Structure formats: structure tokens, C-alpha cells
Structure 1
């Protein structure tokens, strides 16, 4: 499932935009010591995965991977990308949809506080924790290197240990799908419920038909989600 229409909503200090560029961005007002940005950034992950063979080649040949040449990646982190104009150094979490096996969507969370990758998977029986760890190896290894190249860890006052591959955390005790077709809706709704702080009680298989109609209406009419 991809996002194709623009959508904006403002509720209780939260601002959410659904853009044609394929990501969902949400910001909370300055109520805490640090502002939080949440973004669905599938393109960034695609670029990272595409650069994985080149990165491994550099490691094998004992030569540095030139992040300066990978300006498309760096631009996301330093706020130079259109619609991504905040430094990741001021961000705590980055949420993104991610496709597994070519036919299944999960929600990824880059936890920039704990330096780990969290996976919200509505069909965990499809992918073991070991397989998911291997699938996400390019992200686990390249994200810390990308952040380090932009001075992220220095700005955060973090030690060099966080530059190593980040661990995977499979989030459990979450609502799961009971069919083979609702992973995309679950992925969107996981993010929506997390971002707005709503309990997960109503995020269930029985409500998927309603959620599909709701999303279709909101996207088609450019109606705020809240």
C-alpha cells in the first residue's frame, strides 16, 4: 500500500500530513524538552537497501564508503530534503512502512533514543525474528553509519558503541490480522494510534472494513483524519 494523495490534520497539538512523495509526517507541539517528529519514509529505506552491495564491497576491499557522494541519504538526516527540514538530531523516533518478502507490510520504528529498530508486524507467523533480523541488516548497519556521518552521535553526546549495528526488537502484545490481506491497513493504523496516543483496543480485525472505507474517504476528499 502506498500513499498517493495529500492530507493534513491538526488535533491536540499533533499535525499530520499525507504527501504525494509517499510519507506520513507528524509533529507534536513543544510540550516536552524535545520536539518529536514521526515520518513514514519508504524511499530512504529503498535507497539504503540499494546501497548495501556497494557498502559490503567497500568493507571487503578495506576502503571507506563515501557518504558525501550519497547526498540523497544525507539530505534526509540533515534536513536538506524537501519536506524533511528538521535535523534528525532533534528527532526521537522515525516511523516508516517497510515491505517484507515483496508481499507484506510492517511498521518500522527507528528509535533514536535507545538506538534500536522496532518492528510492528501484524502477521508475525510469516517471518521469524531471525529472518527479520537478516532482512533488516542493511538498515540496522547503515542507519548508524549514516547518522554518524552527519555528526548525529556527537550532537547527542552518544558513545561509539551506538555506531555498531542496531538490535531488532519485535514489538509484541499488539493487535494482529487474521487474514492475509490487511497488513497495509494495520501498518497505517499502528502509526496513527501510536502518534495520537490512542489505546489499541479498537484496532482489530473486525474494524478493518471500516478503516479501509475511512482511509479511502479521507484520501479522496483530502479530509483531516481528526
Structure 2
């Protein structure tokens, strides 16, 4: 028994006297399997490298986000570097560092829209010529090279171009505001426009005779200025009188004047619940019918040509030859058309207003809300813009 204990102790002492074996090397990691090909496109590698550099720039070196186009002072740059414990990058003092969300750190370039808007902003207030530009999908209406009031206030990125136009907008709102329907808001041409009548220029309202007759007289009054064709207009009551009583019922309407000395003769025509226009051009010897619903009016052109024949024979003793004149009902594709059941009166007035200037009919249905408000201002101030 003692001999076995002595042998065990001896073995333990021998093991303690042996030198310790060297530490085993750490196990080698097996390479992870990747789905990517070992051969990579150098352009793709370079792109990924740029992305990683940009991520490092955003994550480590940047302390706070700064909007594009703002210069970081040198002191602020060095302080940012010291806070993030990253050595500041030495850059020439004249260079500007740009940092922005989602954009590369470089100076933003000016877009063509920015340049156009700057040119528009530099136009003096009160002028009517402007550019058709867009920014952030916001478009500005361009009519024949002239940007008319939109809608009475031209807004470019929330900025007003003219305080005068803002005042005009307030005037129109006041007309549509509180007041008695019988209040007379404008008086001229032996006509009176009440609040009740002018409120027919609200959207989706049918225009009444008083508004149309007053506006047509404004067109005639403007034709007296130099540079405009001479224009004569008949009232809305002329056509029904001619239709019911013939020439004898309306022969006194031109007493003391030569109708054929005028370049253009405009006649509003009311067909039950629809307004249209007849335009007679004595220069080109034509009778044209304008209908914003595209309906044919050849028979109306014939009625007015027979009137012209009798007027010429009785007043000038000159017979009109049919072959020398053109009777035409305008096709829907040739003139602006309405797409609702309420704007025929406004279309008719704008046909007359454009024709009286020998201007092409460049408007459309989208302009009608603006035209309504503009007509309110023109009637109140008794002048066409």
C-alpha cells in the first residue's frame, strides 16, 4: 500500500518538473462562401468604393447635417474634427465644403428653370410680358407669348409679382361678397350692372344679357383706339328681333351710320340656353359663326347675309354678290370648345374680344375661371385689360 502511494507521488513530482508545452495556434477560419463571382467589374468595384467612402464621410466625419450651399467656417470644421476624434482634412481656405442629405459634397448647379424664374422675377411690376416656366412641376400659363394675369395674381414659388394684381383680386372678392343684389356696381353705355347681374360671372353660372351687352360695348369702345380694327356690336336683342320681324324690324338700328364702313361687326346670338357669336368681316367679305359646342350654324350665317344684302341695297344702293362672300360655320377643331354646360357666354365674349383685335383664338376651357374674374374687374373699371 505504501509502495503504491510512493509511486503515485513520484509520478506527480516528475510531471511537475517537465517544461510547459507551447500554446496551440488559434484555429484558422474557413473562408465564407459568397454568391459573388471572384472576378468583379472594376467600374462596379470603384462605385462600391465611392459609396463606402461616402458612408464613412457621413457616419464618422460629419457631426451635423448642413443644407447644400452653406459654407462651413474653418473653426467649425476643426471643432467637428476634434469632437469626432478624427484628424481634420486640410483643404485650401478658398474652397467651400458642401454637405447635404443624399447629395454628393459639391456645389449645386443652376438649372434652366432657376435661370428662367430669375428672369421673370426681374421683370418690372405692371408689365404683362413673361416667360412660360416651370419648377417642381408648377407650370405658368403662356398665351401667345404673353402671360396674362393668372388668376389675377402671378405666383412664382409663392411670391407675388405685383401688389396691384393682389389689389385686383381683393376687388373681385369684394364684388362677390356681401351686398344688396340691387346695388349698381357699374354704369355706362346707357346700361347699369347690378351686383345680381355681375354675380353671374361666378363659376358655373350662366351670363345674363346685361353682362354680355356691357362687355361687348367695352370691346367696341376699345376699337376706337389707334391700331385696332373698327368694330360695331349689336346687342343681344338684335338677333331675336331680326328673326321674328325681318329687316324692317331692325332697319333703324343702323340709323345715321354706314355699317359697311366698319371692319368687323359682332352679333351675340342666344339660342334658348346657349350663347354663340356671329362675326362679319367686311374686309375679307365673310360671315362666320362661332359655337363653343361645335354645332353647325350655316342657316344663321344665311340669315345675316340676307340682312346685309337688304342693308346694302337700302342704305348704299349697292347689291351684294353671293359669290364674293364666304359664309362659314366654324368647325369644332378650328375654335376653342367648352367642356361643361355653363361657360358658353364667356366663350362667346372671348371670341368677340380676340376677333376684335385680329388675334388667333389661343384660349381654352382651362382659362374660363380666370376670364370670369378678369371680366368682373373690367366691367367694374369699364376698361379691357
Query: What TM-score does the superposition give when structure 2 sets the normalisation length?
Result: 0.39
Could you tell me how far apart the structure 2 residues matched to 1:193 and 1:175 are? 12
Quick check: 1:215 aligned with 2:375? yes
Residue matched to 1:10: none
1:116 equivalenced with 2:286 (yes/no): yes
Q: How far is 1:206 from its partner? A: 1.0
Q: State the partner residue of 1:134.
A: 299
* Aligned: 1:200 with 2:353: no
* Cα distance in 2, alignment partners of residues 146 and 191 from structure 1: 22
Q: Distance in 1 between matches of 2:300 and 2:359?
A: 30
Distance 1:93 1:196, change over 3 A: closer
2:251 pairs, out of 74, 83, 87, with 74
> Contact (CA 8 Å) 1:78, 1:88: kept in 2 or not?
no
Q: 1:117 to 1:199 in 2, by over 3 A?
A: closer
Q: How many residues end up aligned between the 2 structures?
A: 175
Deviation for aligned residue 1:94? 0.3
More strand by share: 1
RMSD: 3.3
Checking the alignment, whether the CA contact within 8 Å between 1:119 and 1:169 is kept in structure 2 is yes
Q: 1:185, 1:211 within 8 Å by CA — same for their partners in 2?
A: yes
1:149 to partner: Cα distance: 1.0
**Residue of structure 2 equivalent to 1:171:** 330
Answer with 135-144 or 180-189: which moved more: 135-144
Contact 2:231–2:356 (CA under 8 A) maintained in structure 1: no
Structure 2 residues without counterparts, runs of 5 or longer: 1-184, 193-209
The reply to whether residue 88 of structure 1 matches residue 248 of structure 2 is: no
Corresponding residue for residue 83 of structure 1:
none
What whole-Å deviation, never above 9, does each CA across 1:72-124 have from its counterpart, x for those lacking one? 62333343xxxxxx421311220111112x11111111223444320121110
Superposition deviation, residue 167 in structure 1: 5.2
C-alpha distance in 2 between matches for 1:31 and 1:217 = 24
- When residues 199 and 151 of structure 1 are mapped into structure 2, their CA distance, relative to the original with a 3 A threshold, is closer
| Match for residue 150 of structure 1 among 311, 315, 319 | 315
The two structures have a TM-score, normalised by structure 1, of 0.63
Q: Give a deviation string over 1:43-67, Cα, whole Å, max 9, x none.
A: 2222211114xxxxxxxxxxxxxx7
Counterpart pick for 1:186 among 342, 347, 352? 347
- SS, match of residue 211 in structure 1: helix
Q: Which runs of 5+ in 1 are unaligned?
A: 8-16, 53-66, 80-85, 154-158
C-alpha distance in 2 between matches for 1:174 and 1:90: 27
Give the greater-gyration-radius structure (CA).
Answer: 2
